[in-house]
Amino acid sequence: MACHGFLGKPTPKSFGRHNHARRNRHHQSRCSAAAVAAAGSIFTSLNMSLFTFHNRLLRCVSRFFRLATTSSATPSHRATMKQGYKKLHKPEPLRRRNDKKRTIFLDLDETLVHSTMEPPIRVNVDFMVRIKIEGTVIPMFVVKRPGVTEFLERISKNYRVAIFTAGLPEYASQVLDKLDKNRVISQRLYRDSCTEMNGRYAKDLSLVAKNDLGSVLLVDDNPFSYSLQPDNGVPIKPFVDDMEDQELMKLAEFFDGCYQCFTATTISYPATRPGYTKLEILEDPLTAYTNTKRTIILDLDETLVHSTTQLPGVKYDFMVMVKMEREIMPIFVVKRPGVTEFLERLGENYKVVVFTAGLEEYASQVLDKLDKNGVISQRLYRDSCTEVSGKYVKDLSLVVGKDLRSALIVDDNPSSYSLQPENGVPIKAFVDDLKDQELLNLVEFLESCYAYEDMRDAVKDLLAN
């Protein structure tokens, strides 16, 4: 195996001086035999831990060099190193097996399972899930690839296992719940985490591995899926209904070999070539599709807070000072119940933007106090609004461009989203009801929007009910 390649390295022809006296040759021969025996003991230590093996190997090799060079012919240890043998590279510290695990990302459909809306003819169904498509509940019949359970268990011993699928979460999550009953899979990424390129879904590993692409691999039957990082892709034959398929078992053996290469320390001469190819660390691809998060645009006044120049009838949360017509006035602000939790939960899955018709000198101060954790990534004020018949309208294309499928706006004033009414999520105006639960109810709806390829369809379903 490549990571043990140093064990098969040819023994140097001579480690002593060439002008030794004849009387020392017999002594050298005996010393060399002892050295070979010492080096041979390496093979018996393979059952020991890597750390013990590493230390013993260094001791044996050091002894080997000392025996092969007589004291009479060695003026100094430094001279011996220069003339007798090449200095070994300083070994890198061994990585313990409980250190940060490397990650194997797995595709789902045609890699681990095969799913169809019709009962398969040639094979038995392993389980069934039900999904809702355009208002209709449809059964999906799922066949597991042979060996998938053993495969997942086996690779999870050495790797962190994650799923990266272009399937919708409402389908894929059900399949994974049934497939991974032992909870081997530590992370699940669905279609919303994919990068859409020319109508096809690519899986950008830099979104999950950041700058450490040398520690991840992606197994997928579709090469386009890893087209952004082709060097990290591991191809596999698509699975449909071949119950004699052995691809996963072969792949498990490959990953076992990769792990040993990842963890073993290499002690060898510079000319020794490794038996595996090290994955290059690639730069993050700078594409227009890098940010795959969908966007939630929030109004400010009467949606997240209520502000007034007079002391409110309820306890206010904070105050800001605003200059109005050459006069500095206090503005008392009451936060809507649950607003902090609402922003935090949204920030886990969405890009959060505030689009307000308020003046920047007022709204920026309110947002500084409201968003102390920096969840809100973008702020748009009155100067970004479009004035229509004396009203301020918020054009969502200023935020998301033409991709209106991936954005919603929450506003208590329907005229604010009159340019894109299908993207608007209405909410009751907040003034001083401290028992208000609108935001906590709304966040559950917004989290469910991930099941929709077009978020506007979620709004249609909401309004229809």
The C-alpha atoms of residue 57 and residue 50 are separated, in whole angstroms, by: 10
Helix/strand/coil for 320 = strand
DSSP at 45: T
Whether 350 and 295 have beta carbons less than 8 Å apart is answered as yes
The C-alpha atoms of residue 28 and residue 75 are separated, in whole angstroms, by: 17
Element at 209 (helix H, strand E): helix 206-209
Q: Is 301 in the active site?
A: yes
Q: Which two tokens stand for residue 345?
A: 């939960």
Q: Which residues of 362-391 are buried (b: 16+ CB within 10 A; e: fewer)?
A: bbebbbeebbeeebbeebbbeebbeeeeee
Helix/strand/coil for 300 = coil
Whether 120 and 143 have beta carbons less than 8 Å apart is answered as yes
The C-alpha atoms of residue 400 and residue 407 are separated, in whole angstroms, by: 7
Phi, psi of 167 (to 5 degrees): -75, 155
Element at 264 (helix H, strand E): none
In 3D, which of 300, 338, 337 has the Cα closest to residue 320? 300
- Which of 109, 192, 204, 301 is catalytic? The answer is 301
In 3D, which of 333, 380, 335, 332 has the Cα closest to residue 359? 380
Residue identified by tokens 């398929």 is 245
User: How many other C-beta atoms are found inside a 10 Å radius of the C-beta of residue 206?
Assistant: 20
The C-alpha atoms of residue 225 and residue 233 are separated, in whole angstroms, by: 9
Rounded alpha-carbon distances, angstroms, from residue 104 to 70, 215, 455: 52, 9, 30
Rounded alpha-carbon distances, angstroms, from residue 288 to 118, 177, 380, 400, 459: 38, 33, 21, 12, 26
Q: Is 403 in the active site?
A: no
The C-alpha atoms of residue 223 and residue 447 are separated, in whole angstroms, by: 31
DSSP at 192: G
Q: Which residues of 445-455 are buried (b: 16+ CB within 10 A; e: fewer)?
A: ebeebbbbeeb
Helix/strand/coil for 294 = strand
- Which of 204, 299, 371, 411 is catalytic? The answer is 299
Which residues are the active-site residues? 299, 301
